[in-house]
């Protein structure tokens, strides 16, 4: 028994998808990247597709699961189920207009022509705002449409906004926020569902450890209650006696964002020999 996952063959989501699998202990040798490849580490088969084709491939069971942008998933209106949001490939779908135009609200778009590769999502947005506009569907190079007279405005993927600026456009409305999602064929066979559950368990362990560090230090034993209040750890910090009387070693998992501020407070109560280590996986 084997589960088949559809990944983008190249493009923005390819590397991060493979990196996530690698972190979950599923290596795929680059040299083995054909259209269909296997891992030696997990009963999984990788099917490389254009991202446009992934939602339907998963809906129809050509692949059991897949990784695709939420934007692509929504646009295809497919029957595959979202099983997990993956947090990479973040972008938004926005309306943009020539930067010289004045803009007072969505009514601006009434009667305008909008170029996009996402007609379904755009239509839904316009309907919600009760705006009648013309949608010009084009497959690529959407951002030059206004400059060449193909449209008055565009509806496209934005991340930093740099592409808009370099094409003389400004972002005026955001219709959706997107990120990569793991999708699955509805009603997977029990054995495949079990493999998907194993994969999800690994992915969640990887995610839990993101932004976390492992910290250890020596601390006077009588300061442990104060130190434990600064570093609550997962259940509670680990305390080990040192050979030297009156001293203990304390270990805990700590959020990276709070790290330096906590280190200052720990030093202030007598912590010494502080080590901060990378945390690879958190299995709870
Ligand atoms: P394909 O050849 O597979 O059809 P594509 O050109 O349609 O690829 P990409 O540009 O590789 O698609 O983008 C794939 C997905 O990555 C998008 O659907 C979106 O979810 C996400 N994405 C696109 N642009 C960005 C960006 N600038 N930053 C982050 N994520 C992005
Ligand atoms: Mg595509």
CATH of residue 230's domain is 3.30.70.120
- Co-location of 67 and 172 in the same domain: no
CA distances from 85 to 14, 30, 68, 204 (A): 16, 25, 10, 11
- The protein residue with its alpha carbon nearest to ligand 1, atom 11, reads 11
- The conformational region for residue 19 under phi > 0 = left, psi -120 to 50 = alpha, else beta, is alpha
Same domain, 117 and 190: no
Domain assignment present for residue 153? The answer is: yes
One pLDDT digit (tens) per residue for the chain, 284 residues: 999 999 999 999 999 999 999 999 999 877 666 889 999 999 999 999 999 999 999 999 999 999 999 999 999 998 999 999 999 999 999 999 999 999 999 999 999 999 999 999 999 999 999 999 999 999 999 999 999 999 999 999 999 999 999 999 999 999 999 999 999 999 999 999 999 999 999 999 999 999 999 999 999 999 999 999 999 888 889 999 999 999 999 999 999 999 999 999 999 999 999 999 999 899 98
Residue 185 sits in the same domain as residue 66: yes
Q: 95 and 84: one domain? A: no
What is the ipTM for the molecules in this complex? Answer: 0.97
- Which residues, 6 or more positions from 28, have their beta carbon under 8 angstroms from its beta carbon? 18, 21, 22, 37, 39, 46
Q: Judge contact between 77 and 99, C-beta under 8 A.
A: no
Task: Say yes or no: 137 and 186 in one domain.
Answer: no
Report in angstroms the alpha-carbon separations of 159 from 11, 15, 23, 93.
15, 17, 25, 9
Whether 49 is in a domain gets the answer yes
Could you tell which of 89, 90, 162, 175 is best to mutate to test the pocket of ligand 1, judged by most ligand atoms within 8 Å of the CB?
89
CA angle at 71 for the pair 66 and 74, rounded to the nearest 5°: 80
Q: Are residues 19 and 37 in the same domain?
A: yes
Ligand 1 atom at minimum distance from 69 CA: 20
Instruction: Give the whole-angstrom CA distance, residue 68 versus residue 178.
Output: 10
For residue 62, report the distance from its CA to the centre of ligand 1, in Å. 22
Can you tell me which atom of ligand 1 is nearest the CA of 179?
A: 20
Torsion angles phi and psi, residue 259, rounded to 5 = -55, -55
99 and 171 part of one domain = yes
The candidate with the shortest Cα–Cα distance to 164, out of 143, 142, 150, is 143
Give the nearest ligand 1 atom to 9 CA: 3
Structural domain containing residue 110:
91-177
Residue 283, domain member (yes or no) = no
């Amino acid at each position: 028994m084997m589960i088949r996952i559809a990944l983008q063959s190249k493009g923005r989501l390819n590397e991060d998808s493979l990196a996530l699998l690698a972190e979950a202990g599923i290596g795929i040798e680059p040299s083995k990247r054909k259209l269909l490849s296997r891992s030696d580490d997990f009963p999984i088969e990788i099917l490389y597709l254009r991202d446009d084709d992934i939602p339907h491939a998963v809906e129809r069971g050509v692949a059991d699961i897949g990784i695709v942008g939420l934007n692509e998933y929504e646009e295809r209106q497919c029957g595959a189920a979202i099983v997990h949001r993956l947090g990479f490939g973040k972008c938004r779908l926005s309306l943009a207009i020539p930067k010289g135009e004045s803009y007072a609200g969505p009514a601006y778009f009434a009667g305008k022509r909008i170029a996009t590769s996402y007609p379904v999502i755009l239509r839904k947005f316009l309907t919600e705002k009760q705006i009648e506009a013309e949608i010009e569907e084009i497959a690529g190079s959407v951002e030059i449409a206004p400059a060449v007279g193909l449209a008055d405005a565009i509806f496209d993927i934005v991340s930093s906004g740099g592409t808009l600026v370099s094409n003389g456009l400004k972002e005026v409305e955001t219709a959706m926020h997107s990120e990569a999602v793991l999708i699955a064929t509805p009603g997977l066979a029990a054995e495949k569902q079990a493999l998907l559950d194993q994969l999800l368990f690994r992915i969640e362990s990887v995610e839990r450890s993101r932004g976390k560090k492992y910290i250890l230090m020596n601390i006077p034993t009588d300061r442990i209650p104060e130190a434990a209040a600064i570093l609550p750890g997962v259940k509670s910090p680990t305390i080990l006696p040192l050979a030297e009387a009156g001293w203990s070693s304390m270990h805990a998992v700590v959020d990276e964002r709070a790290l330096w501020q906590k280190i200052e407070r720990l030093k202030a109560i007598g912590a010494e020999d502080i080590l901060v280590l990378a945390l690879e996986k958190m299995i709870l």
